[in-house]
Amino acid sequence: MAKNRTKKRKKAGRVILVSLILLLSVTVLAGFLILEPNVRIYAFAELDKNRLTDVNKVLTLADDEGNTISDPIYDNNKIYTHLRDLPRHVPDAFVAIEDKRFYAHKGIDYLRVLSAAKNNLFSGSIQEGASTISQQLIKNTHLKNEKTFRRKLQEMRVARALEREYAKDDILEMYLNIVYFGSNAYGIGTAAKYMFDKSAKELSVAESALLAAVINNPARYSPYEAPDRAKGRRDLVLKRMLDQNLIDEAAYKSAVDQPLKLAAAPKPANQYINQALCEAARILSKRRYQLFDGNYRIETYYDRGLQGFLDGLAAETELNGDFQMIIADNRSGAFLADSGNSHRDLSELRRQPGSAIKPFVSYAPALEKKLVYPVTPILDEKTDFDGYAPGNFNGKYYGWTDVRTSLVHSLNVPAVKLTEMTGVEQSKQIARRFGLSFDKTDTGLPIALGGMTYGVTLPELCDAYRVLPSGGRYSVGGFVKAIYDRAGNCLYKREAAKVRAIDPGNAYLLTDMLQECARIGTARRLKGVGGNVAAKTGTAGSEAGNTDAYCIAYTPGYTVAVWAGSREALLPGEIAGGTLPAKTAEKILRHLNDTAAFEPPETVTRLDIDLNAYLKDRKILLANDSAPPKDRKPALFSDYNLPRQYAKPHTFIDNSTELDNFEQFKIVDSL
């Protein structure tokens, strides 16, 4: 009996072993077939030599009049640097940190793949890609920027095909001329000029190592924004060069002891060019540096006069942080100018909007759902919403006020009450009509005060406010007017389709409230511009200080969005939405000099309500014919949401019960 069991176990073991061998063989065979470039796979990318030979980037950006936009850094993207002209330590630095077995493998470094697979397995996510220089070149010229196994397999296949067609030095040369160094600088020649004001052939060992360090994450390792972090990464590159015998001990010690020697701080990045390239890449479903391969002509709405004015304001602004200004045309949705003082590319930067988001997640939803009028009384007092207890600035509460006044002075508790009244999901649903997006984790009342997982971009916020002077209609703003290929064929032409976001009457009611905000509220620095300006401020941060400050202002013709922020530290203590951003918005609006007036739609009605019922009972009742003028309160209403009930015949009002005079309050926009 025991012998039979032993025989069965041995037989089962042999079956399992054979099965494992067969499974492994099938897996290896399948892997070979997938990675073999000569085996065609439907819908998989193939090597396209034209994408490689066009690495000498050529791209034309045109302004709103068809003239070419010129920028020192952008123009330098047309310089091609040959590997034979570089000192050997320049490419060696990149090989040392990016692909130490570059000259040994045939497109795929299987040792790195196994190491990365092990690390990804233990981390439970894709943390390492193990891409060789050949794979990186293919990714940047042939494929979309997506983290999927399908894209990775295609990258590996085409990298193997690349290595069969080109010599190693040719691959390295193409790579060095397309890799991104941040600040709109593509290629080793551009980066050397931008960072050190010299030719790439003049780069020292330390400078070469710094450039090789930056490409891992240009924003994180920027020597201008994070010098300590950049130096640490540079020194790692130098250590790798030493370990791989690419430099000797003396060269290593000399280079590692050198401080970061950069050219004089370059001028800020041209944010309009960054935005236009980013938008064009989205339109064409390409990575941004792939745009240079196609010899495209990108026509934009770039207004030279307005851009020059904003550039001047940026040069005058001294701020330890980032600063950005945008001007948009309300009728067309065109972004006319975008400037700031940052060396970083801000085109896809998302930040917490603070109170600047309140009109869209608190007030518009409550008006659209006919839950309130602008004049509806609302109690501003310390309130706990099931464990969430937002506070007003300086812990001050103002008792009974109304919806209009709470927006004008950006009171927090009323905003949260309105969002709770509407419901978080309903509030988000209406806010999405303004072009705002939310993460699936944005499910709580903090969204009323701008508490979002990922935040918003400044163009998105600008688009949201454009809805209000546009009669409640939303359209996606644009930097790009049209795109043409090298043969002159039109690949894209912008059409500013507008869709209904909210009722025109409610859009005007919000504008009317925000006009008062620009006169006596948190945006009161704009009061000198004129009566046809509406504005809202926003400030985000913590008890430690502010990190973001906004002022979004608009006239019938233009919307102006201004943001100041700090990603590494806090803003100076005095900066909030109502200070530097509002002051800057005032200068821009004066320059624009839009004298048009906001015109109410026919669906907005001015009615008198009974002041006695309003002050005593907190009720919105229409004034009876017998009520004298002094006991009436005029208010604006949408025809789709009107009070219907009249007050009883008039009685004497005790004026001691009047609401507080909010014009005397000094309120800084809440966090």
Report, as an integer, the average pLDDT of 145-165: 80
With contact defined as beta carbons under 8 Å apart, do 217 and 102 qualify? no
What whole-number distance in Å separates Cα of residue 669 and Cα of residue 654? 33
Return all residues near 42 (Cβ < 8 A) that are at least 6 apart: none
What whole-number distance in Å separates Cα of residue 160 and Cα of residue 150? 16
The answer to whether residue 254 scores a pLDDT higher than 90 is yes
- With bands split at pLDDT 50, 70 and 90, how would you rate the model's confidence at 50? confident
- With bands split at pLDDT 50, 70 and 90, how would you rate the model's confidence at 80? confident
The answer to whether residue 74 scores a pLDDT higher than 70 is no
Find residue 634's DSSP bridge partners: 608
pLDDT in tens, 395-426: 789 899 999 999 999 999 999 999 999 999 99
Average model confidence (pLDDT) across the chain: 86
Q: Give me the percent of the chain exceeding a pLDDT of 90.
A: 61
Tell me which residue of 71, 72, 53 sits closest to 61, measured CA to CA: 71
Task: Please give the domain boundaries of the chain with CATH numbers for all domains.
Answer: 72-256 (1.10.3810.10), 604-664 (no CATH)
The answer to whether residue 330 scores a pLDDT higher than 80 is yes
Instruction: Note the pLDDT of residue 370.
Output: 97
Both tokens of 509, joined, read: 């009611």
The answer to whether residue 48 scores a pLDDT higher than 50 is yes
Report, as an integer, the average pLDDT of 163-187: 89
The answer to whether residue 259 scores a pLDDT higher than 80 is yes
- With bands split at pLDDT 50, 70 and 90, how would you rate the model's confidence at 11? low
Of 42-51, 398-407, 422-431, 517-526, the poorest mean pLDDT is in 42-51
Which has more pLDDT, 507 or 17? Answer: 507
Helices assigned H by DSSP within 246-294: 249-256, 271-284
Of 16-25, 38-47, 350-359, 522-531, the poorest mean pLDDT is in 16-25
Q: What pTM, to 2 d.p., does this model score? A: 0.79
Report, as an integer, the average pLDDT of 473-478: 97
Q: Quick count: other Cβ atoms within 10 Å of Cβ 534?
A: 28
Q: How many residues would you count in the chain? A: 671
pLDDT in tens, 629-663: 889 999 999 999 999 999 887 554 454 444 443 33
Strands laid side by side in the 60-62 sheet: 60-62, 297-300, 480-484, 490-493
Instruction: Note the pLDDT of residue 26.
Output: 41
Tell me which residue of 507, 508, 502, 357 sits closest to 419, measured CA to CA: 357
pLDDT in tens, 544-561: 889 999 999 999 999 999
Instruction: Note the pLDDT of residue 23.
Output: 46
The answer to whether residue 90 scores a pLDDT higher than 60 is yes
Both tokens of 125, joined, read: 């996510």
566-581 CB burial, b ≥16 within 10 A, e <16: beeeebbeebbbbbbb
- With bands split at pLDDT 50, 70 and 90, how would you rate the model's confidence at 33? very low
What whole-number distance in Å separates Cα of residue 291 and Cα of residue 545? 41
The answer to whether residue 531 scores a pLDDT higher than 90 is no
Instruction: Note the pLDDT of residue 544.
Output: 85
The answer to whether residue 129 scores a pLDDT higher than 80 is no
